[in-house]
């Protein structure tokens, strides 16, 4: 894996590299939500991306950036779902093998998606340490190239293409609101915004029960020794070191969000826009509504990061 931090030129290169494979997703509007937020909201619909999440961008860029020699042994990663499915599909587009280490208790719909795209699953205990240990084991056994879910510079650059499209599609955005877990999408967005629209503020939406990014940026060092407790399964990963460096460099703001508000926003998006997104995606709208005074009167871009919801376990369904 390359060690250098990605830059805007890497995002431009990623956009060209993935263009034959990734969708240019639409930007959605809702007058009802504009009224509720007292702001102009522009939703980048990455839940309509291939595999149902922005993750395909980074995975596709990483896979197609490999040399023929590197690609021959395939790729390996660890993932709670979306990145695993994205890497599996990206590997399929290149005709190479894909191995995905999956934690016990992952969302069933996401595991099914990974398998649908032909990856080999390797279960492990539900901790970051267990995931990484198993990943190294599979890497040693197969020779596959590691494509980390959020610290790989090729992945970060690929994720930044979503903000690149949004900023090119909507003029004069004043704020970008992006979910943050491991920090791949957040870091890529920060790079793109700084290059294209320096006055546009980047705000990260993070669950209160997994707020390591907020703590780390406030302290000036990574503080990632915690057990995540949030319904946002896609945001339980710990903030990566390169991601931390990029977010600190670009002086992003972090807003923590209560799970109850995230679920309310998820339901609200379904009711008003007829778009079903996962909690890790709905948190962007929840941050705007929970901290409405910060966004009132502004032109706001929101990254709807994914829509892979287990329909048999909707969070507001009767138990």
255-309 residue pLDDT tens: 999 999 999 999 999 999 999 999 999 999 999 999 999 999 999 999 999 998 8
Tally of domains within the chain: 2
Do 34 and 180 share a domain, yes or no?
Answer: yes
Q: What CATH number is given to the structural domain containing 186?
A: 3.40.50.1100
Do 166 and 286 share a domain, yes or no?
Answer: yes
Position 2 in a domain: no
The Cα-based distances of 143 to 59, 70, 90, 146, 155 in angstroms read: 18, 9, 18, 9, 20
Position 3 in a domain: no
286 within 8 A of 257, measured Cβ to Cβ: yes
Do 172 and 44 share a domain, yes or no?
Answer: yes
Do 44 and 167 share a domain, yes or no?
Answer: yes
Model pLDDT for residues 65-94, shown as the tens digit of each residue: 999 999 999 999 998 788 999 999 999 999
Do 130 and 198 share a domain, yes or no?
Answer: no
Range of the domain at 233: 8-54+152-313
Domain boundary among 92, 116, 146: 146
Position 206 in a domain: yes
């Amino acid at each position: 894996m390359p060690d250098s931090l990605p830059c805007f030129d890497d995002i431009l290169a990623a956009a060209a590299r993935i263009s034959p494979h990734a969708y240019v997703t639409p930007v959605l509007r809702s007058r009802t939500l504009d009224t509720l937020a007292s702001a102009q909201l522009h939703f980048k619909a990455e839940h309509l991306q291939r595999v149902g999440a922005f993750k395909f961008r980074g995975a596709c860029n990483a896979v197609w950036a490999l040399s023929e020699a590197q690609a021959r042994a395939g790729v390996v990663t660890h993932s709670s779902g979306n990145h695993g499915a994205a890497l599996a599909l990206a590997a399929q587009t290149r005709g190479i093998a894909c191995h995905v280490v999956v934690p016990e208790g992952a969302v069933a719909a996401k595991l099914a998606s990974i398998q649908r795209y032909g990856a080999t699953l390797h279960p492990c205990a539900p901790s970051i340490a267990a995931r990484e240990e198993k990943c190294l084991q599979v890497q040693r056994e197969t020779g596959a190239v590691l494509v980390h879910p959020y610290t790989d510079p090729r992945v970060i650059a690929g994720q930044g293409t979503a903000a690149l499209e949004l900023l090119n599609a909507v003029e004069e955005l004043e704020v970008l609101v992006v979910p943050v877990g491991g920090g791949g999408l957040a870091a890529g967005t920060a790079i793109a915004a700084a290059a294209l629209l320096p006055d546009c503020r980047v705000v990260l939406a993070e669950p209160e029960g997994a707020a390591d990014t907020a703590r780390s940026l406030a302290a000036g060092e990574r503080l990632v020794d915690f057990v995540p407790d949030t319904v946002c399964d896609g945001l339980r990963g710990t903030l990566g070191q390169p991601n931390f460096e990029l977010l600190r460099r670009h002086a992003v703001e972090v807003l923590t969000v209560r799970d109850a508000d995230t679920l309310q926003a998820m339901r609200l998006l379904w009711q008003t826009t007829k778009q079903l997104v996962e909690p890790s995606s709905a948190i962007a709208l929840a941050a705007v509504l929970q901290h409405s005074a910060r966004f009132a009167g502004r032109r706001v871009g929101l990254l709807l990061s994914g829509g892979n919801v287990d329909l048999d376990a909707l969070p507001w369904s009767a138990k």
